């Protein structure tokens, strides 16, 4: 049987996310309760979480989370890391042994910073340098997989139901200002830990529900710019698209949303002249990054969350606010279970981005 990455695997899913815009910390427990309500939207073949603001003591370092198949992969990776980064701290990620989660690989965490000499001679900016190193490990070191690589954020994922994955990773011990979570329903998978979501690339993380029909058009385009879609999953390509548009092309989140889920031409024609010009330009410039087919995603980034659904609204998304907190989920029940008394609940239109950020803005 082909492993994830050797074959393209469609999947249905559940997503949920929360942010405290005052910047106050929350443990991952609410997310576990929220996703557990949507148990039937997963099938036990993948679950995961992303937390932002969880490593305040190491906020200047890239936090690499890695899966190793064996000690040899770990040795090779550490040797690679040693040549490219200063490693501030390395340790095994603490987990709780529970019967629901089995066959775990070696799971390690490294706080790293690019070696200044190497960085200088590469003529790349720090993030691009780090991004390329992550791609190298994932492409060339057999049995090693970096599944989280941003600063002051971390992804935790595994094969299993998401609520079990949360307990496995002891998420009650982490405190972050925002969280996203994902429960997976792949239609066919041998169950590989790296294939679970969220998918992260540097500080961007994506959880996604849907199956995009534009996948190969998007993949073949984005791979022109040095990305390698090793997993052949939608979430991976979506994460790369956002990294490309936000980090490399310096588009705003709303502009990026207009690229991946643009208004129909007929809708654009009804907008103001200025909006027409901007949205037409984005569609012309990045036409190969338009995503079709059903999706609802939550993009996590330092200081914010963005919810975005496909332009036909083929997947559900509900957003809500209560005081400083804002919620995004596939189903309203997943929000109500952690906050029954909401100030405001609404369902965004297809292709309409909803952005919640810390009061101070993006970090």
Partner 1 sequence: MNGTLFIYPDYEVVRDYDKCIACRVCERQCANEVHSYDPDLKKMFADNTKCVNCHRCVCLCPTHALKIVKSDNTYKINANWDNQTINEVYRQAGTGGVLLSSMGNPKPYPVYWDKMLVNASQVTNPSIDPLREPMETAVYLGKKNAGIERDENGRLKDTLPPQLKLSVPVMFSAMSYGSISYNAHESLARAAEELGIYYNTGEGGLHKDFYKYGKNTIVQVASGRFGVFKDYLETAAAIEIKMGQGAKPGIGGHLPGSKITDAVSTTRMIPKGVDAISPAPHHDIYSIEDLRQLVYSLKEATDYKKPVIVKIAAVHNCAAIASGIARSGADIIAVDGFRGGTGAAPTRIRDNVGIPIELALASIDTRLREEGIRDNVSIVAAGSIRSSTDLLKAIALGADACYIGTAALLSLGCHLCRSCHQGKCNWGIATQRPELVKRLNPEIGYRRLVRLVTAWKHELQEMMGGMGINSVEALRGNRLMLRGIGLTDRELSVLGIRHAGE
| Residues forming the site for partner 1 (CB under 8 A) | 8, 10-12, 187, 210-218, 220-221, 223-225, 249-251, 255, 264-266, 274, 277-278, 281-288, 290-294, 311-312, 314
Minimum distance of partner 1 from residue 277's CB (angstroms): 7
Is the Cβ of residue 39 or residue 313 nearer to partner 1 in the bound state? 313
Is the Cβ of residue 66 or residue 290 nearer to partner 1 in the bound state? 290
Is the Cβ of residue 44 or residue 143 nearer to partner 1 in the bound state? 44
- Map residue 100 onto helix, strand or coil: coil
Minimum distance of partner 1 from residue 283's CB (angstroms): 8
DSSP character string of 156-192: EEESS-HHHHHHHTTGGG--BSEEEEEEEEESS----
Is the Cβ of residue 22 or residue 287 nearer to partner 1 in the bound state? 287
Is the Cβ of residue 100 or residue 275 nearer to partner 1 in the bound state? 275
Q: Which residues are catalytic?
A: 13
For residue 361, count other CB atoms closer than 10 A to its CB. Answer: 8
Cβ neighbours of residue 229 under 8 Å, at least 6 residues apart? 219, 222, 223, 236, 237, 240
- Map residue 295 onto helix, strand or coil: strand
Minimum distance of partner 1 from residue 315's CB (angstroms): 10
CA–CA separation, 62 vs 210, rounded Å?
30
Minimum distance of partner 1 from residue 4's CB (angstroms): 16
CA–CA separation, 322 vs 328, rounded Å?
12
Minimum distance of partner 1 from residue 16's CB (angstroms): 21
Q: Is residue 362 a contact partner of residue 152, using CB atoms and an 8 Å limit?
A: no
119: nearest Cα among 147, 152, 86:
86
């Amino acid at each position: 049987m082909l492993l994830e990455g050797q074959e393209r695997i469609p999947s249905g899913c559940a997503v949920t996310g929360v942010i405290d815009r005052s910047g106050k910390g929350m443990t991952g427990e609410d997310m576990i309760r929220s996703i557990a309500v949507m148990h039937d939207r997963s099938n036990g073949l993948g679950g995961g979480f992303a937390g932002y603001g969880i490593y305040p003591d190491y906020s200047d370092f890239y936090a690499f989370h890695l899966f190793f198949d064996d000690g040899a992969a770990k040795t090779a990776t550490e040797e690679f890391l040693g040549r490219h980064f200063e490693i501030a701290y390395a340790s095994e990620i603490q987990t709780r042994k529970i019967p629901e989660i089995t066959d775990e690989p070696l799971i390690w965490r490294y706080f790293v910073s690019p070696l200044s000499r190497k960085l200088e001679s590469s003529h790349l900016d720090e993030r691009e340098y780090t991004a390329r190193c992550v791609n190298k490990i994932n492409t060339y070191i057999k049995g090693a997989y970096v599944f989280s690589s941003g600063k002051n954020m971390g992804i935790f994922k595994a094969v299993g139901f998401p609520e079990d994955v949360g307990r496995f990773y002891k998420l009650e011990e982490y405190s972050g200002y925002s969280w996203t979570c994902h429960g997976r329903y792949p239609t066919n998978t041998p169950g590989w830990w790296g294939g679970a979501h969220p998918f992260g690339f540097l500080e961007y993380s994506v959880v996604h529900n849907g199956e995009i029909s534009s996948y190969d058009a998007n993949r073949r385009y984005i791979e022109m710019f040095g990305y390698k879609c090793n997993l052949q999953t939608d979430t991976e390509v979506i994460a790369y698209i956002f990294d490309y548009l936000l980090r490399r092309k310096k588009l705003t989140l709303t502009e990026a949303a207009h690229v991946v889920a643009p208004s129909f031409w007929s809708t654009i024609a009804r907008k103001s002249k200025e909006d027409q010009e901007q949205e037409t330009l984005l569609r012309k410039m990045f036409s190969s990054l338009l995503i079709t087919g059903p999706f609802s995603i939550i993009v996590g980034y330092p200081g914010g969350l963005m919810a975005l659904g496909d332009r036909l609204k083929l997947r559900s998304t509900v957003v809500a606010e209560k005081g400083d907190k804002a919620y995004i989920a596939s189903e309203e029940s997943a929000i109500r279970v952690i906050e029954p008394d909401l100030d405001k609940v609404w369902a965004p239109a297809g292709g309409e981005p909803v952005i919640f950020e810390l009061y101070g803005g993006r970090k």
